[in-house]
């Protein structure tokens, strides 16, 4: 079984105005509300690829109830842990430029953390555990590391898609895969990366700290994988029109995991990750299987592999 965790989910409130005037009353011409959460996105794309998963998350209040309602249509299994307060609401303001205002996370107490750990006692040898995104401010930055450490006596594949201290503290737990972008690596290591050689060297440092494989998303440039086999895999993105980049990184994680389960080939998993991430970027919402298959048929990917 594949398990995903969204510790800090949200309702994403999209507001579109033609011309934002600061300090004035502005009228939106369109608004939308979406269920936000990186782990939920991963589970959604895994479902599109034919893989079952159990998505855990903390929810609270009226906004948490709406989040759960919006997720009902998604076919993965849900494992929500109720908390006090309310699930955060993130405002995405789209005008001449895009502005985001992210709400504060919910309050999670020790009993609710223990409930999650109790749920994860069901994780067994051969399962996959994917920890995605940020955590509420009430939780310590070793939260992901504590979860991984609780599974250390099992043969579980760990995937961590996080940044900063949350990622740093997870590395000694030897995740199979981490997926930072270049900016996140620069922040984590306190450096500025100028070229591919420096990016590879920085990725190697994450391996030295404990990660087996480092998948670096590079936007329009494609992606790079620093593999546990000693090889560097590089590939550009398929051609297409960017529609919405939200969820593309999560789709890449889902594709990589599905590709690895299917083939146990790092290169095949890498390619599947790029197709899934790109397909979502070219869609208004998360990519479906037909979107991914169509992209594969129209845009072959060439991988450059170096030792």
Instruction: Tell whether the torsion through CA atoms of 209, 213, 216 and 221 is positive or negative.
Output: positive
CB 227 within 8 A of CB 266: yes
Structure confidence at residue 242 (pLDDT): 83
- Over the stretch 106-115, which tens digit does the pLDDT of each residue have? 889 999 999 9
Structure confidence at residue 307 (pLDDT): 78
Structure confidence at residue 267 (pLDDT): 96
Structure confidence at residue 271 (pLDDT): 96
- Looking up tokens 């494992």 gives 79
Question: What average pLDDT does range 275-284 have in this prediction?
Answer: 92
Q: How confident is the model at residue 241 (pLDDT cuts 50, 70, 90)?
A: confident
Is the pLDDT at 210 greater than 90, yes or no? Answer: yes
Identified catalytic residue from 110, 127, 196, 250: 250
Q: How confident is the model at residue 222 (pLDDT cuts 50, 70, 90)?
A: confident
Read off the tokens for 297. 């048929």
Is the pLDDT at 239 greater than 90, yes or no? Answer: no
Q: How confident is the model at residue 221 (pLDDT cuts 50, 70, 90)?
A: confident
Matching CATH number, 2-306, of 3.40.50.12780, 1.10.630.10, 3.40.1190.20, 2.70.150.10: 3.40.1190.20
Other CB atoms within a 10 A radius of the CB of residue 210 amount to 14
Question: What average pLDDT does range 11-39 have in this prediction?
Answer: 93
Q: How far apart are the first and last CA of the chain?
A: 33
- Over the stretch 113-172, which tens digit does the pLDDT of each residue have? 999 999 999 999 999 999 999 999 899 999 999 999 999 999 999 999 999 999 999 999
Is the pLDDT at 90 greater than 90, yes or no? Answer: yes
Q: Among residues of the chain, what percentage have pLDDT more than 70? A: 100
> Helix/strand/coil (H, E, C) string of 106-121?
CECCHHHHHHHHHHHH
Q: How confident is the model at residue 280 (pLDDT cuts 50, 70, 90)?
A: very high
Question: What average pLDDT does range 80-106 have in this prediction?
Answer: 90
Q: How confident is the model at residue 37 (pLDDT cuts 50, 70, 90)?
A: very high
- Is 250 labeled as catalytic in the residue annotation? yes
Q: Domain extents for the chain?
A: 2-306
């Amino acid at each position: 079984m594949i398990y995903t965790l969204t510790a800090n989910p949200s309702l994403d409130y999209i507001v579109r105005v033609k011309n934002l005037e600061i300090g004035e009353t502005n009228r939106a011409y369109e608004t939308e509300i979406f269920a936000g959460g990186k782990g939920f996105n991963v589970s959604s794309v895994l479902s599109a690829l034919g893989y079952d998963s159990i998505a855990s998350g903390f929810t609270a209040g009226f906004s948490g109830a709406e989040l759960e309602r919006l997720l009902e249509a998604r076919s993965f299994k849900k494992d929500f842990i109720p908390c006090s307060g309310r699930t955060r609401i993130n405002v995405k303001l789209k005008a001449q430029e895009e502005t985001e205002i992210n709400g504060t996370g919910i309050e999670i107490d020790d009993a609710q953390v223990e409930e999650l750990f109790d749920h994860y006692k069901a994780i067994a040898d051969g399962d996959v555990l994917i920890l995605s995104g940020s955590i509420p401010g009430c939780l310590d930055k070793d939260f992901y590391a504590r979860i991984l450490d609780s599974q250390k006596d099992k043969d579980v594949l760990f995937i961590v898609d996080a940044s900063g201290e949350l990622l740093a503290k997870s590395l000694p737990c030897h995740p199979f895969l981490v997926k930072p972008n270049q900016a996140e690596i620069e922040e984590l290591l306190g450096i500025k990366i100028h070229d591919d050689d420096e990016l590879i060297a920085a990725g190697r440092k994450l391996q030295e700290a404990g990660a087996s494989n480092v998948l670096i998303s590079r936007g329009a440039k494609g992606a790079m994988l620093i593999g546990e086999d000693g090889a560097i895999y590089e590939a550009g993105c398929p051609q297409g029109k960017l529609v919405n980049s939200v969820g593309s990184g999560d789709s890449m994680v889902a594709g990589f995991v599905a590709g690895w389960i299917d083939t146990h080939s790092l290169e095949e998993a890498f390619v599947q990750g790029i197709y899934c991430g790109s397909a979502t970027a070219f869609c208004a919402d998360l990519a479906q299987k037909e979107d991914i298959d169509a992209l594969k048929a129209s845009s072959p990917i060439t991988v450059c592999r170096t030792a």
